[in-house]
Amino acid sequence: MTTQTWIITGASRGFGRALAESALAAGDNVVAAVRRPGSVADLEAKHPDSCLVATFDVRDLAAAAGLVRDTLDRFGQLDVLVNNAGRAVVGAAEEVGDAQLRELMELHLFGPAALVRAALPAMRERGTGTIVQMSSQGGRMSFPGVSAYSASKFALEGWSEALAGEVAPFGIRVMLVEPSRFRTGFNGGDVIEFAEPSATYRDLLAGVRADMAGADGRQEGDPARAAGIIVSLAHGDEVPLRLPLGREAVERISRVHRRGLEEVERWAETARSADFEDVPASARPV
């Protein structure tokens, strides 16, 4: 298997840590991009020749070019970029403030976008590369209490879907990973944030808050198995544009597609009636 070089953000724990371990076990090189270098010092000590720890905050857009440059200086190439760093804010849309919403957009969209832009020239030059965007089942569906989180993941999905078509001619692949619940620490008290509950929504969202807070350590998904799947796909000949991970993700996303199609069909005639009657459908490039 050809050795690949990875950049993985948020590699200190969860999916990022599992991906770093899986890629290193496969004989690949890994740049573990983390805010706290000490959190992955053991990986660098165990794999001194193939692991580089880089201090990196995804929200620092200006630092993206330096991270890519350091990767190329150390390993000479960049094959796989994984935008993994992330967290959640739970609360009603009326409870989550501008600052909280903006931070999630910076973390889940603007930061990954900056890193992709920094990585693309090197990938285009070699005519190969894989961009892995860690989204969520919450990037394809939403429900009360997670509007801010889903908004940022929906944005990442739309941006990445367009990106996939733009870079495919250069031999570069894009894969959106959409996990359900995995034991990654995502639901831990130091990762998930709960907006201050208001009297209006306290009872309405009580179950959602309790469910999100109580899931830590009880999630059905195994990060190591998920990481093995992603690493295997990155080394393979084909990757899906979207990869739901976990039974719940497969079932929920499938159900959302079916419900959406049923709604489109139900209102199809009403929707079609909005067009001019004497104008034929235009030819579109996609």
**153 given a catalytic annotation:** yes
Q: What are phi and psi of 77, to 5 degrees?
A: -160, 165
Catalytic residue among 136, 153, 160, 180: 153
**149 given a catalytic annotation:** yes
**254 given a catalytic annotation:** no
Catalytic residue among 22, 50, 135, 152: 135
Catalytic residue among 12, 50, 147, 160: 12
Q: What is the DSSP string of 174-231?
A: EEEEEE--BSSSTTSTTT-EEPPPPTTTTTTTHHHHHHHHH-TTT-SB-HHHHHHHHH
Other C-beta atoms within 10 Å of 220: how many?
12
Separation of alpha carbons 196 and 186, rounded Å: 19
Cα end-to-end distance, the chain, whole Å: 35
**12 given a catalytic annotation:** yes
Beta bridge partners of 7: 31, 81
Catalytic residue among 136, 149, 150, 152: 149
Q: State the catalytic residues.
A: 12, 135, 149, 153
